[in-house]
Amino acid sequence: MADIKVIPLKELFRESFSYMCENCRNIALFSVVHMLFLIAGFEMIDGWHDVFFLPWLVGYYLFWCFFFRFYFKRKPYLATVKLFYTLVPSTKMLALTFLVVTALLMLPLIPPFFGIGSEWANEYTLYLKRYMEDTRVVDGITVVIMTLTAPLVFYRPMMAWISSLIGRSASMKSAFAKTRGNYWKMAFLLATFELLFAGLTWAGQQLGIGNWLSIAVGSPLVIYLNVIFAKTYDYFFLEIDG
């Protein structure tokens, strides 16, 4: 069995930050464009509740296609049929995320069915109802579940998406095989950024400026996170992709 490659987190953070500094002009431009996307998607229109969210989503998807093709120096950055090949791994990611998160969120609803009519089942149902009515608790549990499952349903499959985007294999099997043994490091990395984004949201609410702090400061952080994803691909697939 081939040796398992373990992500060197410190080097990954450092190299990604160095890339940001060395390409500060382009990174600043990407950050500004990302801010404009967030303003359009969540301040000018009402997110996924709005009929214009679908075309916004298409534009946002193309933005990230451009970003990664730019990072890997694959011209043309958008005018290429390779973008259509990315729909397979991206659709798999969405489907996998939906199935796993839905299944985990549904698990707490199952126990009462094993004791219908019993006292403990009734007490459990009342307890569950009380906490499900608390939006903050539900949102918190959802975030925790998504963070813990993200290495499996997002981070590792994203390597297949990046690969397809730059004209390489879109095999999920290959992406999982090459990145095995890194679950906790990936979870730690994603949890770190999740806490940073949550902190920005909280600070914005405390300052009374809504989402504007998250949009302004969070956009460069999102770009940084995606540079880390690109560096991760470099680390695991550089020797086979060249």
Contacts of 30 (CB under 8 A, 6+ apart): 67, 223
As a whole number of angstroms, the distance between CA 125 and CA 131 comes to: 10
Whether 2 has a pLDDT exceeding 60, the answer reads: no
Mean pLDDT of the chain: 86
Which pLDDT score is estimated for 121? 67
Burial of 71 (0-12, 13-18, 19+ CB in 10 A): buried
Which pLDDT score is estimated for 204? 94
Q: Are 154 and 93 contacting, i.e. CB atoms less than 8 angstroms apart?
A: yes
Q: What is the dihedral of CA 47, 49, 55, 57, to 10 degrees?
A: 50
What DSSP line would sit under 94-112, residue for residue? HHHHHHHHHHHHHGGGSGG
Of 78-87, 144-153, 160-169, the least confident: 78-87
Q: Are 170 and 209 contacting, i.e. CB atoms less than 8 angstroms apart?
A: no
Which pLDDT score is estimated for 170? 84
Write the pLDDT tens digit of every residue in 156-201. Answer: 999 999 998 988 888 889 999 999 999 999 999 999 999 999 999 9
Write the pLDDT tens digit of every residue in 199-222. Answer: 999 999 999 998 999 999 999 999
Listed residue (204, 203, 231, 185) closest to 4, CA to CA: 185
Write the pLDDT tens digit of every residue in 89-111. Answer: 787 777 777 777 677 667 666 66
Which pLDDT score is estimated for 100? 73
Residues of the chain with pLDDT > 90, as a percent, come to 53
As a whole number of angstroms, the distance between CA 173 and CA 156 comes to: 10
Write the pLDDT tens digit of every residue in 15-45. Answer: 999 999 999 999 999 999 999 999 999 889 8
Residue in this structure with the two tokens 């806490």, named with its chain if needed: 195
Q: Are 223 and 150 contacting, i.e. CB atoms less than 8 angstroms apart?
A: no
As a whole number of angstroms, the distance between CA 234 and CA 185 comes to: 17
Element (H, E) at 198: helix 183-207
Listed residue (82, 40, 48) closest to 62, CA to CA: 82
Read off the pLDDT of each residue in 120-131 and give the average, rounded to a whole number.
69
